[in-house]
Amino acid sequence: MTVNEQLLAYAEQLFAPEDAALHEIRALPEREGLPDIAVSPDEGKILAVLLTAIGARRVLEIGTLAGYSGVWMARALSAGGMLTTIEADPKHAAAARRAFERAGVAHRVQLIEGRALEVLPTLRPGYDAVFVDADKEPLEQYYRQAMRLLRRGGLLLCDNAFFNGRVTDPRDTAADVEGVRAFNRLAASDARLAAAVIPVRDGLVVGVKVAE
């Protein structure tokens, strides 16, 4: 049976209900003119479950936007855990800070404003998970930095593996599409990573770093 929107809505309502804070954050794009590209509630819950499964305490997010996925992940951290999230756009970063306060997770979030390709080389390895949900053209560089920063046994997570179906169109050679394809190829072929794609919404790459 094909999973249709009705079944997706059923699963989302049952397994990923939003509280008032999450609902409010997801409404921010329309209210404040932000890009409407945050993960869906069911994706947020999957991220939370995966982090809970490994007892994650130190998590990195590349691409904060308004903080929706960050709230799901910050809430899933073990005691004393910290989410470090990187955002280049000051408007998005300001919205995210308000969201983290509203959701009661500001004390476990470090938001770094700046370009990810400049920030990532300054970070020290040892992260339990890295979630990539940022601009697509530099995804290959994000992949290499994420693998450097992940501990063995850590999770590599990346949204938009299908990129609205564009990855399967050979005529589409736009830089952002090629970036998604490059990330997917690396995740699928890297001997250091055991990876698969969860076909939820626009596709979520999930990998475990099995070797240095």
Three-state DSSP string of the chain: CCCCHHHHHHHHHHHCCCCHHHHHHHCHHHHHCCCCCCCCHHHHHHHHHHHHHCCCCEEEEECCCCCHHHHHHHHHCCCCCEEEEEECCHHHHHHHHHHHHHHCCHHHEEEEECCHHHHHHHCCCCEEEEEECCCCCCHHHHHHHHHHHEEEEEEEEEECCCHHHHHHCCCCCCHHHHHHHHHHHHHHHCCCEEEEEECCCCCEEEEEECCC
Looking at residue 53, what is its pLDDT?
Answer: 97
Q: Are 56 and 208 in contact (CB under 8 A)?
A: no
Q: Could you tell me the residue ranges of all domains in the chain?
A: 5-209
Looking at residue 167, what is its pLDDT?
Answer: 96
Looking at residue 2, what is its pLDDT?
Answer: 53
Residue with token string 């939820």: 200
Structure pTM?
Answer: 0.94
Looking at residue 97, what is its pLDDT?
Answer: 95
Phi, psi of 60 (to 5 degrees): -120, 135
Low-confidence ranges of the chain (pLDDT < 50): 1
Looking at residue 4, what is its pLDDT?
Answer: 78
Looking at residue 1, what is its pLDDT?
Answer: 42
CATH superfamily of 5-209: Vaccinia Virus protein VP39 (3.40.50.150)
